[in-house]
Each structure stands twice: as C-alpha cells, then as structure tokens.
Structure 1
Amino acid sequence: MTEHSADCSMVHSGVYDLIDVEDDATFANGVRFRTAIVEGTLEAPTIQGDSLIIDNGIVRCSGRIHVKRICGRGELEVRGDILCESIELTGSVNTDGDIRCSGDMAITGALRNAHHIVADNLYMHGVLHGNDIDGRVFFTQPLRSTMFSRFGMPDYQAQSRVILIKASEVSACKLICRTMKADSASLREGTAVEHAVCSTTLGMDMTSNVLLLKGACRRVHLRTA
C-alpha cells in the first residue's frame, strides 16, 4: 500500500493506505484505499475503500460508492448506489441510486434520494426529500437555529417529504408522507400522513394529522413543542 497526496492531479489505479485530496483530484478506475480524506473536490467514476472522510470538501461520484464508513462535513453527490456500514455527515447528500447502510445513518443538513434508503437507524436533522425508506428506527426533525434564516438558508428548516416509510419506530417533525408502516409512531409540528398502518402506538400533537389509519394501535395525544 502507498500514500498519495492529491493536489490538482489524477489518482491512478492501485491500492492506497491513505489518499489526501487537498485541492482538486480525479480517481481513475480501480482505485482502492484504506482511508481517503477529501479537503478539496474529488471526482470519481466509482469509490471503493474503508473510510471516506469529507473534511469541508466535495465528493462527486458518477457510479457506485462502496465503503465501510462515510463521515465528516461537506457535500456528497452520487449518481449510483451507496453501500456502507455507517454514515455520519454534516452538509448535503444528493443521490440518484439506492443507499444501503447496514448500521446507523446520521445526516445533519440536507438529504435528497430518488430511490431506496435502507438503514438500521436513520437520524435526520434537517430536510429530507426521499422516495422509499426502510429501517428499524426513523427519526427526522428540522434544524433549529436562527442562523439559517439570518444568513438566507431557509432550506435546512423546510418541510421534509417522503413517499413511503417502513420502520419499527418513527419519530417525525415537520414531515409530509404518503404512506407510513410502523409499530409505533410519534408525529409532531405539522406532520401529515395520508395513509398510516400502526400496530402498537400512534402519538400526534394538535398540529399533525393522519388521513387514513389502519391497525389496532393505541392513540396518544402529544403536547405541541
């Protein structure tokens, strides 16, 4: 294994212990790494390795990302699928393919996904636009800071929208959802669900609603935050 410091350069095919992208860099096909740190902008056809660390950088991948973990802060744009064990990222994530995370997925900022998200636990602080979410725990709420409105960044406090949610436990604030299937769910701050199937407990505050409810669940009134 070798180390490579990328500054306006091409990273050629090979196996690397560490790749440090300090400015602009492009991965050739066949690059594999133990750790990649992106401080600048990385363009890649595919990304394969252990740890992808985004340090105030931008990662653009036209194909699939297959790593153990993704973490840090910055921007991640992927045209293909993401396969990983964990994601912990502050910033924005835009994907056209599936996201399959065998462990926890925690995003602070914005997440936009056109297809399918599978994660053991998905924690979203910010704004989520998704199609199909499947997991054990799903939690979403907008970011709470006057900084965003002050600096003209209202998108991080906007309403999240998901077509289908399947999870054992759902906790949602400021969410619009077409179909939700859960054992238990807590809905707050203007969350609206067209069709819900709950088997254990459904909690809602006065600002939230479910249009059509199925399942023998216990209904609980939640206090508005």
Structure 2
Amino acid sequence: MMNLKSAGGIVYAGAYDSLVLHGPHRLGSHVSFGKLSTDSLLRTKDCHGEVLACSSGRVICTGNLHVRLLSGYGSIMVHGDIECESLDFTGDIAVKGNIRTHSLKVSGMVSKPRCIDATSIDITGHIVACSVHTEQLTLSTLQSTLLHRHGMPHYAKRSVIDTVVAAQVNVHQLRCRSMDADSITLSDECLIEYVRYRDRLTSDISSAVIMRNHGTSPPHQAR
C-alpha cells in the first residue's frame, strides 16, 4: 500500500495506507485508505476506508461514506449514507441518507438524516432527524453565551426528532412526535406528542407529554 502527503489536488485511484492531505483535495474514483487525515476541503463521490480524521476539515461526499472510525472536528456533508463502527465528532454533520454506527458521539449539530441506527447515541447540541433507533439516547444542550456572540445560535435550539425507538432515553429540549422506550427522562422544555414506556417516565415541570401509554411489551430493537 502507498503513503501520500499532499498540499492540494487530486488523489488518484489506488490503495493507500496513509493519506495526509493539507489544502483542498478531491478523491478520484477507486480510492481506499487505512487512514486519511484532512485539515481543509475534501470532495469525494464515495469514501471507503478505515479511519477518516478531520482537523478543522470540511468533507463533502456526494455518495456514501463508509469507514470504520470517523473522528475529529469541522464539518461533514454526505448526500448518501454514513456507515461506520464509531463516530466521534465536534462540529456539523449533515446527512441526506441514513447513519448506521455502533457508537455516535457528537458535540455540535446533526442535520436531517432519515434514520440514525446505533447502539448508543450521545449528542451535545442540536439534532433534526426523522427517526432514531438505539439502545441508549442521550441528548443535552450546549450552554454558552459564546454561541450567540459567534453567530451560532442554532446550536442551542430545541432539537426535533419525529420518532424515537430506544431502551434508555435521557433528553433535553427535544420535540418529538412518537417515543417508545423502557425508561425516559425529559428535561428543559421537551414536548412529546405520544410516549409509550415500560419502566419509568420522568419529566420536569417545563416539559410536556400530550399522550402516554404505560405498556408491557418489549420495545423495538435497534437495527
């Protein structure tokens, strides 16, 4: 396998052990890698490899992004699906398809995936998604006056997820149409239209549940 360090341009087809990319790049067709590091704009149709690490990078993928580990900070825009074992990122992630991973941890914003399917999800910031399937969902807000000072008030907005299917849920500032889980904790102005829970439902005074059902059947499993 090849190693490549580049200051800009096109990465041509090949199997690379290491790609260290400084400056704007475009991945050509049929590129695979052991580890790709980027600190600038990276454009690709599809992305296949082991580790993708961003250091204030911006990744734009017009197809699917399939790696083992996705980490770092910056922004990621994917028109297709993200598939990985672990996603640990600070910044913005925008996906038009689905996110499938074992562990998802994001500090920042996750925008408009059709479905997030993961064993554990931990988001500090803001999320808008159609559906979430997971064992453990934790959603907390970013609290800082610096967000407004630097023109990023959207990070502190109420999150919106249409459907949540989980085992354990602990969320802040979430609006949700339907939530199905074993144990649910709602805080900081959550608004849930319909809740089905099996073990426990806890809500602070600022949150509201319009309809609730204390059921006994097991929840749907994360896929």
Instruction: Give the structure-1-normalised TM-score.
Output: 0.94
| Matched AA of 2:77 | E
The amino acid of 2:127's aligned partner reads: L
Q: Which runs of 4+ in 1 moved over 4 A?
A: none
Q: Does 1:73 align with 2:73?
A: yes
Q: CA deviation at 1:113?
A: 2.5
User: C-alpha separation between the residues in 1 aligned to 2:182 and 2:6?
Assistant: 48
Structure 1 runs not aligned, ≥5 long: 218-225
The residue number in structure 1 matching 2:221 is none
One-letter amino acid of the structure 1 residue matched with residue 68 of structure 2: K
Alpha-carbon separation, structure 1, partners of 2:56 and 2:164: 31
Indicate the residue corresponding to 1:13 in structure 2: 13
Instruction: Please state if 1:207 is matched with 2:186.
Output: no
Q: How far off its partner does 1:6 sit?
A: 2.7
Q: Structure 2 stretches of 5 or more lacking a match? A: 217-223
Deviates more, 1:143-152 or 1:131-140: 143-152
Deviation of the 1:141 alpha carbon: 1.3
Alpha carbons of structure 1 residues 216 and 81: separation in structure 2 relative to 1, 3 Å: closer
Secondary structure of 2:154's partner? helix
Aligned length: 216
Percent identity between the aligned chains? Answer: 27
In structure 1, C-alpha distance between the alignment counterparts of 2:125 and 2:12, rounded to whole Å = 37
* Cα distance between partner residues in 2 of 1:41 and 1:157: 26
SS at match of 1:18: strand
Aligned-pair RMSD on alpha carbons? 1.0
Question: Counterpart of 1:169?
Answer: 168
The one-letter code of the counterpart of 1:134 is H
Give CA deviations for 1:151-203 in whole Å, capped at 9, x if unaligned: 22211111100000000000110000000000000000000000110000000
**CA shift for structure 1 position 216:** 4.4
Name the structure 1 match of 2:111. Answer: 112
Match of 2:220 in 1: none
Q: Deviations over 1:59-97 (max 9, x none)?
A: 000001110010000000000111100000000000001
- For 2:153 and 2:176, locate their aligned partners in 1 and report how far apart those are by CA, in whole Å: 21
CA distance in 2, matches of 1:28, 1:153: 34
In the aligned structure 1, how far is the partner of 2:65 from the partner of 2:186? 33
Cα distance in 2 between the residues matched to 1:76 and 1:34: 19
SS in 1 for 2:206: coil
TM superposition shift of 1:41: 0.6
| Equivalence for 1:28 | 28
Partner in structure 2 of residue 222 of structure 1: none
